[in-house]
Each structure stands twice: as structure tokens, then as C-alpha cells.
Amino acid sequence: MIFEVLVVSIIAGFIGSLLGIGGGLIIIPFLSIVFKLTMHQAAAAGLVSVIATSSGAASAYVKDKLTHLRIGMFLQLATVIGGVLGAILSGFLPTKILSVIFGILLLYNSLLMIKNRTSDEKPREYSQATKWTKSLKLYGSYYDKILNREITYSAQNTFWGFLMMTFAGLLSGLLGIGSGIFKVLALDTIMKLPFKVSTATSNFMMGVTALASISIYLARGDIVYDICGAVAVGVLGGSLIGSKVMPYIKSKYLKVAFALILIYTSIEMIKKGLL
Amino acid sequence: MESKKSLDMEKVISLILRVGVVLSIIVISFGLLAHILIDAKVATLIIKVGLYILFLTPFARLVVSLFMFLLEKDLIYFAITLGIIVIIVLSNMVVSLRF
């Protein structure tokens, strides 16, 4: 069984990195539907894959100075609180209800992916720092390789961003996913940070968020070590292959095809919870 | 002066993350190999050790950030980082006691 989990994890990591979504979203339904794990055990394995891939990728992003360490650190307070609450809450919810929530979230994610398949970044003006952002140092700059100039930015709507991050952490702890779309939503849409900074900072935050959640799963004894190990190695390996292959894959039809598979999977998860 | 220090911080954090992930993946892979080839009892233990190295990687990153904020005399962020560490450790202890 370990070998099968390893192979499936490699595929999940590969597809996840091609689509720009976490391996957790793909591996959790597999573990739950095919390998008959409870949602709690599957979520724990998902969190392990989040720690492995986000730490691997964050290492590169931080070096490129795209990550804003202070914004990440400050908002981690929100995601860690949410992550702990979500993980504790999951202990009180039956596996069927978790399955339905997961299915709905995956469905939302897949539909969003089809809608945003041609995403390009629009340059925008960044307004001045406010009192909050000044005292917390939530501003900075990065060198944009495509625009070929230094971009300065400063966080807006800090309070609402913090709130959205708590929600992202909650979902992460509850379901075992990285909940990257909600983190990027908070950073990019609400706090108006540049998209590249948002994705890098969101990734940077995932490791610590997942750690906060998994420490609860660990304390509760929901971790199947052999399977978690296979998932960690498989998803990381698969996502490394995916990131190497990605520049050569341009077809947006591929993304839609994968998204359709994910929609099918999410319906299966919802059915599994309701029947 | 400040930018030079935070540059160092970025390098150190990047290094910690890389070393932690690579080390844990190597250990886990050994465990998986042992599991698949000889199905030994010790395999699960090796995998467990590897997973704990993986869990400690973001934690080590937090602890190092804590000291670096202290060195930069950035007390707000020292407090924020300390708060994060306290929440993680305390919640783990509380749940451990309950189960």
C-alpha cells in the first residue's frame, strides 16, 4: 500500500504544481476515497505535504526577495490562531461532514481555476503607507524582472486582511490543505500587494500554519506515519518534476481538463459525505 | 544598515528551510525504501524521525527569526514571533493532556 500511496502522491504533486494549487487538495480525496483513510488521517497527510512543498518553494522565494518577511510574520499570527482553532474543531466534526466541506471547497477552487485560466498581471498604482502599515513596517519593494523596474508597495486594509487570514488558517487546520487561494485573496485583493509578492508571501506562511495545525493532529494521534512519509516524499518529488516541466506546457486546455477531473472528484467527496 | 541585516535574515531562513527539507526527505526515503523492500519494523521509526525533522523545519525558522528580530531590536516583531511560538507550543500541550 505504501508504494501505491507514493506513486499517487507523485502524480498529485505533479498536477498540483502544474495547476498552481497545493498537492493537498489532490492527495486528500485520493487517500479518502481510494485508500479508505478517515478525513482526519487524510488531512494530517495533507498538512505534511503542505509543510514539505511550501518549505521547499519558500526557500527559493525568500532568496529572490519576493517574500515580505514582516507581512508574512504578522499575518502568521492570524493563520496560526485560525489553524489551531480549525484543527481542534475538526476533532469534533464527523468525517462525513468534513468530506462535504472539502468537496464544496474543491469545487469552488476548480471553478475559479477555469475562470482564471488566462491570468495576466495588470500594473497598478500603490498608494501611500498609513499609520498602521508604518508602525508594523508593512511596506517594501521588489525588482520586477518583466517590467524591468523596482516596484514599491504598501499594505492596505490590514484589519480585513488579518480577518481573512484567520479564516484561511481555519480552513487549513480543518481540512489539511494550504488554502493558498484564500491567503492570496487576502494579500492580493484585500491588502493590494503585488501578485508576485502575494504568492511568495502566502507560500512562506504555509509551513508555520500547517505546523500549528499538525501539532494538534499529532497530539490527538491522527497521524499514520508510513502514509504521511510516502505523501511527503511523493508530493515534493512530483511538484519538483512539475515545476521543471511547466515552462514547456502552454496549453490552457490541459488546465481545463484537470479542472474537470477535480470537479468530478469534488462531487464524489460531497456524495461520500451525504450517502 | 538595516537592509543589510534583513538580507542576512533572508539568507539564513532560506538555508534553514532548504537543509531541513532535504535532510527530512532523505531520512524518510530511507525509511520508505526499508518499508517497501524488507518490510522491517524499524522502517516506521525511520519515517517517524524524518517527519519530525520536517515538522521542526518551520519551527526552527520561527526560532531563528525570533533571535534575529531581537538583534535588530525590533521589539514589535519579536513579540509577534514569540506569540506565534507560544500559541503553537501551548495548544499542542493542552490537546496532548486532553487525549
ipTM of the complex: 0.89
Interchain proximity B21–A62, CB inside 8 Å: no
What does the alpha-carbon distance between residue B99 and residue B84 come to, in Å, rounded to a whole number? 23
Q: How many H-runs (helices) and E-runs (strands) does chain A carry?
A: 11, 2
3-class secondary-structure state, position A144: strand
Residue numbers in chain B where pLDDT is lower than 50: 1-3
- Closest Cα in chain B to A77: B84
Residue among A51, A84, A225 minimizing CB distance to B47 = A225
Question: Which residue type is seen at A190?
Answer: I
Per-residue model confidence (pLDDT) at position A196: 84
Q: Distance, in angstroms, between B18 CA and closest chain A CA?
A: 6
Helix (H) or strand (E) holding B35, with range, is helix B2-38
> Alpha helix locations (H) across A64-94?
69-92
Say whether residue B32 is in contact with chain A using an 8 A CB cutoff.
Answer: yes
Looking at residue A25, its pLDDT comes to 86
Instruction: Quote the pLDDT of residue B45.
Output: 93
pLDDT of residue A180: 85
d(CA A163, CA B86) in angstroms, rounded, equals 20
Query: Do A58 and B36 make contact, defined as CB atoms within 8 angstroms?
Result: no
Q: Can you tell me which residue has the cell 476515497?
A: A33
Residue of A nearest to B76 (CA): A136
Locate the DSSP E strands across chain A. Answer: 139-144, 149-154
Searching chain B, which residue's CA lies closest to the CA of residue A232?
B25
Predicted confidence at residue A236, as pLDDT, reads 92
Range of the structural domain that residue A217 is part of: 2-117+126-274
Q: What is the pLDDT of residue A261?
A: 85
* Residue-level pLDDT at A128: 63
Beta carbons of B77 and A73 less than 8 Å apart: yes
pLDDT in tens, chain A (275 residues): 889 999 999 999 988 888 777 778 889 999 998 999 999 999 999 999 999 998 888 877 777 788 898 999 999 999 999 999 999 999 999 989 999 999 999 998 888 877 765 555 555 556 666 777 888 888 888 887 777 888 888 888 889 999 999 999 999 999 999 888 888 889 988 898 888 888 889 988 999 999 999 999 999 999 999 999 999 999 999 988 888 887 777 666 777 788 888 898 899 899 988 88
- Residue B95's pLDDT is 87
Domains of chain B, residue spans: 2-98
> What's the pTM value of the predicted model, to 2 decimals?
0.89
Q: Give the pLDDT of residue B2.
A: 46
Closest residue in A to B15 (Cα–Cα): A59
B37's grid cell: 523492500
Q: If you search the block for the grid coordinates 543589510, which residue do you land on?
A: B4
Could you give the CA distance from residue A259 to residue A22 in angstroms, rounded to a whole number?
A: 13
| pLDDT at residue number A156 | 86
Express the helix, strand and coil content of chain B in percent, nearest 5 each: 90, 0, 10
What backbone phi and psi angles, to 5 degrees, belong to A144?
A: -90, 120
Strands A139-144, A149-154: parallel, antiparallel or unpaired by DSSP? antiparallel
Q: Are A209 and A83 in contact (CB under 8 A)?
A: yes
What does the alpha-carbon distance between residue B61 and residue A31 come to, in Å, rounded to a whole number?
30
pLDDT of residue A116: 67
Task: Identify which of A6, A56, A137 has the shortest CB distance to residue B21.
Answer: A56
- Residue A67's φ and ψ, nearest 5 degrees, are -80, 130
Residue A15: its pLDDT value, please? 85
A208 touches chain B (CB under 8 A): yes
